[in-house]
Amino acid sequence: MALYGRARRSGTNRASFRKQELVNQIFSEKRIVNTDLIGLVPAAGKGVRLGLPYPKELYPIIRNNRYKPVAQFVLDNLSAAGIEHTALVVNETKHQLLGYFGDGHRFGTHISYVVQESVNGSDGSTSPGLAHALNAAHHLTRGKTVFFGMADTIMQPRNVFACAHQTAQPEDDVILCMFTTQRPEKFGMVRLASDNTVIEIVDKPKQTDLTEMWGCIIWRPQFTEFLYDAVMRQGKSDFARIMNDALVSGLRFRGVHMVGGTYIDLGTYEEIEEMDRRFREE
């Protein structure tokens, strides 16, 4: 019996060792790819407009009798672009996100969690926490190309980031993935030149002739450092203002329109009802 037990354990150990060896090989092969790219998803907002008893990023989207939290959609967008590491910025109350998404392997990306600490004061920003949330992951994003998307949005096509990144030119510092909207008062609207370079960001205008908004963004290290300086040294918090300052400073922004694309923001119950209507029509 003792001999059988030792032999059994030995066989089990060999099998376990081989399994771990294969796992290590897979992960080592994965991690040598696209190490200069990183996803960035801010999810530190309080979600007070919806008043849900759980983080709004876990709001259930049910299609074909399957549950999918809204935040999983942007992870799918990032995974479709080959992003293997994503920084998810949370606040101290978002432990349920850690419980659901874990280390990210089930969603095609490794997730690092960054806690955004509370920031007192505001310079009049319409989204005073966004710039701080994006900058909170500076220790992970510096020196890399950043793929930024919001955790409470649903963007189509699924490969929105990949489509935009494929158009990247060496001189581009920032690429805005753009969608047509009929509600400019809710979004950052984009004014383009004839060559699709960005002239100006007009944040949530009450009246405008602009029809294109930015939905997600890809940027290179130059903008990461510009953002860091604006937040940490100049005390700015309005992300639209920071982008416009970057334009004035000479950074090159380019807009890429998502032809036939859709962008759904689940910030209010009205928007949730609109999403349900769209899905029923599909």
Alpha-carbon gap, residue 98 to 92, rounded angstroms: 11
Q: What pLDDT, on the 0 to 100 scale, is given for residue 203?
A: 97
User: Encoding tokens for residue 266?
Assistant: 């689940």
Q: What is the mean pLDDT of residues 146-159?
A: 96
- On whether both 132 and 249 belong to a single domain, the answer is yes
Model confidence pLDDT, tens digit, residues 48-93 = 555 565 678 888 887 777 889 999 999 999 999 999 999 999 988 8
Of 97, 51, 57, the C-alpha closest to 73 is 57
The residue among 126 and 147 whose pLDDT is bigger is 147
- On whether both 27 and 40 belong to a single domain, the answer is no
Q: Indicate the pTM of the whole model.
A: 0.82
- On whether both 66 and 11 belong to a single domain, the answer is no
The answer on pLDDT for 276 being more than 80 is no
Half-sphere exposure of 136 (CA within 13 A, CB side): 25
Q: What pLDDT, on the 0 to 100 scale, is given for residue 55?
A: 75
- On whether both 54 and 2 belong to a single domain, the answer is no
Q: What is the mean pLDDT of residues 96-100?
A: 93
- On whether both 51 and 28 belong to a single domain, the answer is no
The answer on pLDDT for 222 being more than 60 is yes
Q: Are strands 174-180 and 212-219 parallel, antiparallel or unpaired?
A: antiparallel
Residue that is written with structure tokens 């999403």 in the block: 275
Q: Which of 8-12, 43-47, 154-158 has the highest mean pLDDT?
A: 154-158
Q: What pLDDT, on the 0 to 100 scale, is given for residue 32?
A: 36
Task: Provide the CATH number for the domain around residue 95.
Answer: 3.90.550.10
- Domain range holding 10? 1-32
- On whether both 85 and 135 belong to a single domain, the answer is yes
The answer on pLDDT for 205 being more than 50 is yes
Alpha-carbon gap, residue 229 to 209, rounded angstroms: 32
| CA dihedral (282, 188, 202, 147) positive or negative | negative
Q: What is the mean pLDDT of residues 240-248?
A: 98
Q: What is the mean pLDDT of residues 244-265?
A: 96
Report the domain count for the chain: 2
- On whether both 205 and 67 belong to a single domain, the answer is yes
Percent of the chain with pLDDT over 90: 65
- On whether both 26 and 138 belong to a single domain, the answer is no
- On whether both 25 and 105 belong to a single domain, the answer is no
Give 268's pLDDT tier (boundaries 50, 70, 90): low
Mean pLDDT value across the chain: 83
- On whether both 118 and 246 belong to a single domain, the answer is yes
The residue among 13 and 148 whose pLDDT is bigger is 148
Of 161, 158, 133, the C-alpha closest to 38 is 161
Q: What is the mean pLDDT of residues 26-46?
A: 68
Contact 90, 48 (CB under 8 A): no
| CA dihedral (196, 35, 157, 98) positive or negative | negative
- On whether both 273 and 137 belong to a single domain, the answer is yes
- On whether both 90 and 165 belong to a single domain, the answer is yes
